[in-house]
Amino acid sequence: MLDVIYKRQVAKWDVFEVELKGKTEGNPFTDYNIKGCFKGEHEHIYADGFYDGDGVYKVRFMPSYEGEYTFLISESFLKDGTDDIKGEFVVSEARKSNHGPVRVVNKYHFSYEDGTKYYSIGTTCYVWELQSDELIAQTLESLSVAGFNKIRFCVFPKHYDYNLGEPRSYPYEGTPIDSSVLTSDNFNDYTASLGNLKKGNDWDFTRFNPQHFTHIETCIYELGKRGIEADLIVMHPYDRWGFSQMTKEQDDLYWNYVIARFAAFHNVWWSLANEYDLLPEKSIDDWERYASIICEKDPYHHLRSIHNCFAFYDHTRSWITHCSIQRQELYKTSELVNEWRTQFGKPVVLDEIAYEGNIQHGWGNISGEEMLRRFWEAALRGGYPGHSECFMSDDNILWWSHGGKLKGESWKRFQFLHDIMLETPGYGLMPYEKCGWDEICGVPEEQKDEPIKDYYLFYYSFMRPSFRTLYFDDKNEYEVEVIDSWNMTIEPRGPFKGKFNITLPGRAFMAIRVKRAGLSQNSR
């Protein structure tokens, strides 16, 4: 009798999993397969499964509808002549906290699949999930307290300055190079993508380490519970083990395994790479091939992008759902959202606009004020800013890679911005190009009735006006609020009509929100 393990009920957008025992001879990762067909009234999904070690094969499914479903498993890991594996299950309504995968709406913006607004407030902790249980718990707590709703992190371990220790696990069977020789001064001499892959690694790239992936799944699940999207960086160049220099076949095996394991989690995003252009052995053809694997094998069409070091990937490619941007120059970062929106015609996610901190590198030592300024500049232009922190630390635990505790000042102020963004009528802001040259102004993306608009969010960035003169029209009344983005205060003023002055405290980081009187919240 087959040992089929699955729950007979699952909530919408949760993971339905079928687990079967089977052959262990040969290499189960490559010699056998498992696939599932999941059928309900409104969808019919085929999904690849994966070998999870110890003779266990699994296939996962994320239902997008409620109701009765059936499944049918096709496989090659059971004895010939085994009966079809099939069954039934019921999909109940989604848990209250699960709004489904994040989707692109309105060309430049996001929402959850159930229509709930999603304004990305992201952070980066590259390998937080490969740290100790204690540190992981601390990171999850920090993420929740800060209110982040997206985190970027890597499937592979990371080799880089401040990242020279051993990860808690490796993705493959085998043994790593001796890391005790590594120092901040010599680590580049061991970096594969710099042509310095050293002998001493012994990996079987055809045999995964299921514990590595199971653990990442636990982390994705824990993020999901907290309303945090897991922006998975599937490849990256910070490598001393050769994971960035596998063959095409090995890469494809990895991509299929990653997708089979992770795609059924509602909160997964696919980041094909961090700094794809620092992987000299991967060509554009390779990246396009990985993309085609995702497009083919991810039945849920999770968000897909790819992050640059120098040159942007061509974000107009049809498989790319949103831009994942590292700023290309030292001075202008979020300020370029207008250009990027126009250039790519997609949501602009600013995953790297320098990080708050004090390490030696210019990408990791801006002030909290500057980080927050970049957040507001991005958000009001209709972009989605991202955070991280790089503070020097005796224990070498830097949020940017390891997670842990937040030490900076900017994160305390993101929830305030997020709350304001949630009050945007419709989905998302767009830059109001006709505003003054010395102000940033966001207006609702969906509001097109020029010249009278309903909702304006002005921001003065590093400027410190003691007042501003506003004029919209002679007919309508406007409610005005003076917002201090740093001190997180909202002071109501008004109503006003015609041309009027709004006094400001002559400090930086001030904003003014203007709503046409009578505009009902979210009623657009």
Q: Which stretch binds its own copies (CB under 8 A): 30-38, 277-285, 413-421, 466-474?
A: 466-474
Provide the CB-side half-sphere exposure for 402 (13 A, CA): 26
Site size toward its own copies, by CB under 8 A: 31
DSSP 286: H
Kind plus residue range of the DSSP H or E element containing 482 = strand 477-484
Using the rule CB under 8 A, which residue among 236, 302, 468, 516 binds its own copies?
Answer: 468
Q: Where are the alpha helices (DSSP H) in 316-385?
A: 337-344, 368-380
Q: Which stretch binds its own copies (CB under 8 A): 87-95, 136-144, 234-242, 456-464?
A: 456-464
Note whether 469 binds its own copies by CB under 8 A.
Answer: yes
Reading the block at residue 225, the tokens are 């519970």
Q: Which stretch binds its own copies (CB under 8 A): 238-246, 279-287, 300-308, 434-442?
A: 434-442
Using the rule CB under 8 A, which residue among 437, 451, 474, 523 binds its own copies?
Answer: 437
CB of 489 to its own copies, least distance (A): 19
Provide the CB-side half-sphere exposure for 194 (13 A, CA): 13
Which residues, at least 6 apart from 516, have a Cβ–Cβ distance to it below 8 Å?
Answer: 452, 453, 454, 455, 476, 477, 478, 479
User: d(Cα 263, Cα 43) in Å, to the nearest integer?
Assistant: 16
Note whether 487 binds its own copies by CB under 8 A.
Answer: no
Note whether 52 binds its own copies by CB under 8 A.
Answer: no
CB of 39 to its own copies, least distance (A): 54
- Proportion of the chain in helix, strand, coil states, percent, rounded to 5: 25, 30, 45
Using the rule CB under 8 A, which residue among 479, 508, 519, 524 binds its own copies?
Answer: 508
Query: For its own copies, which is the closer residue by CB, 42 or 361?
Result: 361
Query: Minimal CA–CA distance to 135: which of 179, 177, 167, 172?
Result: 167
Reading the block at residue 5, the tokens are 């393990």
Note whether 464 binds its own copies by CB under 8 A.
Answer: yes
Per-position x/- string for 307-336, each x denoting binding to its own copies as judged by CB under 8 A, each - no binding: -----------------------xxx--x-
Distance linking the first and last C-alpha atoms of the chain: 58
Note whether 186 binds its own copies by CB under 8 A.
Answer: no
**Residues in 350-389 at the binding interface with its own copies, rule: CB under 8 A:** 357-363, 365-367, 370
Would you tell me which residues interact with its own copies (CB under 8 A)?
330-332, 335, 357-363, 365-367, 370, 392, 436-439, 460, 462-469, 506, 508
